[in-house]
Amino acid sequence: MADAAQRLQGLFAQVLDAPLPVRIRAWDGSQAGPPGAPTLVVRNRRALRRLLWKPGELGLARAWVAGDLDIEGDLYTTLDLLSGLIWERGEDARTLAQALRDPEVRAAVRGLVRLAGSPLPPAPPREETRAPRRHLHTKRTDRRAISHHYDVGNDFYEIVLGPSMVYSCAYWPAPDATLEQAQHDKLELVCRKLDLKPGQRLLDVGCGWGSLAVHAAREHGVSVVGVTLSQEQAAYARKRVADAGLTDKVEIRVQDYRDVRDGPYDAISSIGMAEHVGADRYLEYAADLYGLLKPGGRLLNHQIARRPQRDETAYRVDAFIDSYVFPDGELQPLGSTVTQLERAGFEVRDVESIREHYALTLRRWVSRLEADWTRAAQLAGPGRARVWRLYMAASALAFERNRIGVNQVLAVRTPESGASGMPLRARTWGAPGRD
């Protein structure tokens, strides 16, 4: 008699000390769980082995990426229901050890082991980064990490990002606006905050596919140097620059920001790049950018932030994100970012939180990916496409629930005279197109 789903519901409830809020459909066709709830599809016993060998987030992610687990029903609802049982509990070894002291939990785990079959751990999906990284954020390891995330294929990113090819939080005039309009407004907002004027020089650190560089040169008449570590991004950006007839104003380099030596610049933009820098290197990053600016020059640092922990020494990098999405990426609290910028010599003049804007952006990216799923899976591979769908949907929920945020920090290299060049009323840039 097919009963794997019922057994799984009972065993998981014992291990987690809470009933699963979703239905389960198991490999034998059986189903169990709350009627009308989203369904977690356990396609094979290998999914259980992944969870047993790596309990918590990473085991679940491996099963998802490999296609051993799937979801029927709304993805966001399912992730929200599961978050309290999996993501928010983390993978603390002490918590697991404490749980296993309970005889009922140990008995449930033994039941899962018997149901899972062969005790050997399945190999992680090939999309997982498994190279040892003893020294983080050297130029070599950063180049490898960036390649893992951004060299997935420009055609794949066109599906997700749309014509704007902007891979950072958009700036929405209204929730029903188009993604292209919201990304245009974000690019314009950055330029207005930097107070760009014809003839000035802009350094765009982590220039991506060249969207800001092209916009700033075309709309504001500045000369732009864009740097990226991604070969695929650079090739795409150079073609966009040429197609726009801006080769005399925009130079795209495959270069580490630490190797830029042709300052000073009038302004620097760093949009969605500082998450790759790392806490130990952040003061160096801030000091390098400070040294590349003219006195009176502005920096716009657009960066995702995590919430501070009561015990910062216990903070751990998200296992799924580190293994599959952004190797070596680190999120810091907003206060840490502001402090390090000020330690480097900057005067921080404005901080704007646009957390809700990123949730809207991510949901649009997920919709675009799902709408062209077959082609996306062909271009990047089914596993990689599943990684992107999961990480973007989970990130949208994280922004909506205020677990993470995103901020634009405007800072100035204020000259010794103290004349910052900032207006008396700070936000005179307003919304794009409005004063």
List, for residues 331-356, the tens digit of each pLDDT value. Answer: 999 999 999 999 999 999 999 999 99
* pLDDT value at 87 more than 60: no
**In the prediction, which pLDDT does 1 show?**
43
Cβ(366)–Cβ(79) under 8 Å? no
Cβ(388)–Cβ(369) under 8 Å? yes
Cα 368 from Cα 158, distance rounded (Å): 10
Which helix H or strand E contains 412, and what residues bound it?
A: strand 404-412
**In the prediction, which pLDDT does 142 show?**
63
Cα 39 from Cα 173, distance rounded (Å): 36
Cα 159 from Cα 165, distance rounded (Å): 9
Last residue of a domain, one of 69, 101, 116: 116
CATH number for the domain spanning 267: value is: 3.40.50.150
Q: Are residues 200 and 145 located together in one domain of the fold?
A: yes
The residue with greater pLDDT, 130 or 1, is 130
- The overall average pLDDT reported for the chain is 88
Measuring CA to CA, how many Å separate 414 from each of 76, 125, 178, 264, 349? 45, 50, 38, 14, 10
Cβ(257)–Cβ(285) under 8 Å? yes
Q: What is the mean pLDDT of residues 414-420?
A: 94
pTM exceeds 0.85: yes
Q: Which domain holds residue 102?
A: 4-116
Q: Are residues 173 and 296 located together in one domain of the fold?
A: yes
* Helix and strand counts by DSSP (H, E) for the chain: 17, 11
**In the prediction, which pLDDT does 90 show?**
47
Q: Fill in the DSSP letter of residue 258.
A: G
Both tokens assigned to 409: 């920090």
Beta strands in 272-391, from DSSP E residues, in sequence order: 293-306, 347-353
Cα 49 from Cα 141, distance rounded (Å): 31
Q: What is the mean pLDDT of residues 376-390?
A: 93
Is residue 128 situated within a structural domain?
no
Q: Tell me the β-bridge partners of 32.
A: 24
Is residue 249 situated within a structural domain?
yes
Q: Are residues 174 and 50 located together in one domain of the fold?
A: no
Q: How many domains is the chain partitioned into structurally?
A: 2
The residue with greater pLDDT, 90 or 109, is 109
Q: What is the CA radius of gyration of the chain?
A: 24
Q: Are residues 300 and 399 located together in one domain of the fold?
A: yes
Q: How far is C-alpha 343 from the chain's CA centre?
A: 26
Q: Are residues 78 and 205 located together in one domain of the fold?
A: no
Cα 172 from Cα 360, distance rounded (Å): 8
Q: Are residues 331 and 384 located together in one domain of the fold?
A: yes
List, for residues 262-319, the tens digit of each pLDDT value. Answer: 999 999 999 999 998 988 899 999 999 999 999 999 999 999 999 988 877 656 677 8
Cα 323 from Cα 433, distance rounded (Å): 41
